[in-house]
Amino acid sequence: MSTGKYDFSIAIGGAAGQGIATPGNIVAQMMARRGLHINAYNAYQSIVRGGHIFLTIRARDDFSRSHGDKLDLLLCLNQDTMDRHLDLMVSGTRVLFNSDDINPGTPASGVELCGLPISELTDNSRNRLVQNTVALGAFMHLSGLDFEILEESTRQRFARQGEVVVEENVSVARAGYQYALENFTPFPIPAPLGEKPLAIWTGNDALAMGGAAAGVKFYAAYPMSPSTGVLHWMAKNARDLGIMVRQMEDEIAVANTVIGAAHSGVRSMCATSGGGFALMTEAIGMAGMMEVPAVFINVQRAGPSTGVPTKTEQGDLWQALGASQGDFERVVVAPFNSLDAFNTMPELFNLTDQLQIPGIVLSDLLISEGTSTVDPDLVDVYPEINRGELITESTGSKEYMRYESTESGVSPRALPGLEGHIHIVATDEHDENSLLISDEFTDPHKRRKMVEKRARKIINLENMVPSPSIEGEEDADVTLVGWGSTYNVIKDAIPMLKESGIKVNHLPIKWIVPLHKKTIEELLSKSNKTIIVENNYSGQFARYLRSETGITADGYIRKYDGEPFAPHHIVEAVKEQLAGKTKISVPYQEIMV
């Protein structure tokens, strides 16, 4: 029953170590179980204790693509949160806080300050986190939700800690609920009930599950934010799913071990962030030269170097395009969101297996650490699996050549251990029979033949994956071109622009290599004004598009402060560009996190 009317955002702010995750998870899970669509974004720093964490959870009775623009409820777990963010709150919103410890300051008119006298409501001497539970009780009243829903969630969450802990938490939450009932005004629209319970996941969960669904049985990693969630999912599910998970000494070992396992015939993958990906690049070239299929995920964060480890950016496009020395074949794909990331994994594995080339996934912190709901019926964990031309049984007496120069360029791949198919794979240039060409003399004709053999494999690549298409009205004033994770926020911005009378459509690009040049040229030739949106400073995709197609956009929207775009950033940028004020808009980040 999507009415599109319910659109509620709560932000929870505090310091690392104050237990933001627990109330955040409980709120998200209660909403998801009601069938409401969730999109959550957590702004944090690379510290375990202290700093400032700001978790935004948006719940809608319609598809929730981004964390949105507005807040309805601010839950302050410390004074810092109150001081930083009170000015974000406008008339009609509520601010929940512990009135024992936090001085609320002066809000805008119409903001309801909901102070909770924690020490009066409960014995907080033993557990400082008790304010979070009291606040959750108050949240239930404000959202028009029955207390029993929270009670059930609380009982489930604390069940393992024993009856005493469960009862204590329930009674504390009830005290918060009761106090709110007597003292605070609930929001005018209570949280509705959706069609059916929704699943909740992060983008890293989705990438890992997509790998598992694709038949990955070997996963190696070196921990690196924001990719570590993939490792955690894999490790947690390793035994149940028969996936071997190995933590290695560095990302060089990760990539090389993955290629070793892939050469033995097991679908293998790894995930890292830009710095780790830099260490992996030589091995990615090895996969290209040896023609070993494997998948490397780069969850981008703000760079360069250590950069801003807990912030998002789309700054590694050219790193992926240029990963490793030399000229070789690869696939590079930038999924749009969690569900797309999930679906991309089996698709990419099928491609890399069929073409015997490395595959690179460009995710980013926004997708990978973002939490969202998904209709569980849309998560196909039994996708089609195509392992390409694999020889698994000994056949005939014909002399086997691993790199036989076939018409398609793809040479049937025998796995080590098979009788009658002994061969070497080498990082040195080699002939069809694997002999290194430098073992005789560096034969230029053989070198050319082998370069062309490998290149033939991807001649047809564009037809193997879906081409991009315009989403939205055909006859638009503006075409917004995005790639990867900007998909969701652009989708949210378009109806807002329409409300202001601006017709905007969207050309989202997922496949970076292959880039469907002709299709993109055709589609953009009809555009009245093309604006490229990306989360980096230099316009990496704009430069790539120009280098591949000659297309120069009419305008650019870029953000490189570490925080993702909010829908209104896009809206305002499009407006200022239509007004002729600028060609490059750099939206201002209002929320200081």
Question: Can you tell me whether residue 529 is helix, strand or coil?
Answer: coil
Residues of this chain, 281-320, that bind other proteins according to CB under 8 A? 282-283, 286, 290
Shortest spacing between CB 53 and other proteins, in angstroms: 23
DSSP 367: H
> CB of 363 within 8 A of CB of 485?
yes
Selected binder of other proteins within 197, 307, 309, 388 (CB under 8 A): 197
Stretch that binds other proteins, among 81-89, 104-112, 149-157, 423-431 (CB under 8 A): 423-431
Q: Which is nearer to other proteins, 51 or 388 (CB)?
A: 388
DSSP 16: E
The phi and psi torsions of 220 (rounded to 5 degrees) equal -125, 150
Shortest spacing between CB 59 and other proteins, in angstroms: 16
Selected binder of other proteins within 212, 489, 531, 573 (CB under 8 A): 212
DSSP 467: P
The reply on whether position 385 binds other proteins by CB under 8 A is yes
Selected binder of other proteins within 149, 435, 524, 591 (CB under 8 A): 435
Characterise 326 by phi-psi region: left (phi > 0), alpha (psi -120 to 50), beta (else): left
Interface pattern 16-35 for other proteins (x via CB under 8 A): -----------------x--
Q: Which is nearer to other proteins, 346 or 587 (CB)?
A: 346
Q: How many CA atoms lie within 13 A of 231 on its CB side?
A: 20
**Cα-Cα-Cα-Cα dihedral of 398, 399, 401, 402, to 10°?**
70
The phi and psi torsions of 314 (rounded to 5 degrees) equal -110, 65
Stretch that binds other proteins, among 35-43, 210-218, 352-360, 486-494 (CB under 8 A): 210-218
Q: Which is nearer to other proteins, 42 or 577 (CB)?
A: 42
DSSP structure string for 253-281: HHHHHHHHHHHTT--EEEEE-HHHHHHHH
Amino acid at 111: V
Question: Can you tell me whether residue 170 is helix, strand or coil?
Answer: helix
All residues at 6 or more sequence positions from 271 whose CB lies less than 8 Å from its CB, including other chains = 204, 207, 208, 221, 227, 230, 231, 296, 297, 298, 299, 361
Selected binder of other proteins within 163, 327, 439, 522 (CB under 8 A): 439
Amino acid at 423: H
Selected binder of other proteins within 60, 94, 174, 217 (CB under 8 A): 217
The reply on whether position 531 binds other proteins by CB under 8 A is no
The Cα 403–Cα 388 span in angstroms is 15
Q: Which is nearer to other proteins, 240 or 474 (CB)?
A: 240
Residues of this chain, 317-376, that bind other proteins according to CB under 8 A? 374, 376
Residues of this chain, 53-82, that bind other proteins according to CB under 8 A? none
Selected binder of other proteins within 76, 89, 200, 367 (CB under 8 A): 200
Q: How are beta strands 73-76 and 94-98 bridged, if at all? A: parallel
The reply on whether position 399 binds other proteins by CB under 8 A is no
Radius of gyration of the chain (CA): 26
Residues of this chain, 130-149, that bind other proteins according to CB under 8 A? none
> CB of 380 within 8 A of CB of 244?
no
Q: Which is nearer to other proteins, 75 or 261 (CB)?
A: 261
Selected binder of other proteins within 21, 149, 181, 241 (CB under 8 A): 241
The reply on whether position 85 binds other proteins by CB under 8 A is no
Q: In sequence order, what are the beta bridge partners of 297?
A: 271, 361
The Cα 490–Cα 229 span in angstroms is 26
Residues of this chain, 259-278, that bind other proteins according to CB under 8 A? 259-268
Which tokens is 390 given? 């694999």
Residues near other proteins (CB under 8 A): 33, 197, 199-201, 205, 209, 212-213, 215, 217-218, 220, 237-244, 246, 248-250, 252-253, 256-268, 282-283, 286, 290, 374, 376, 379, 381-382, 385, 415-428, 433-436, 439
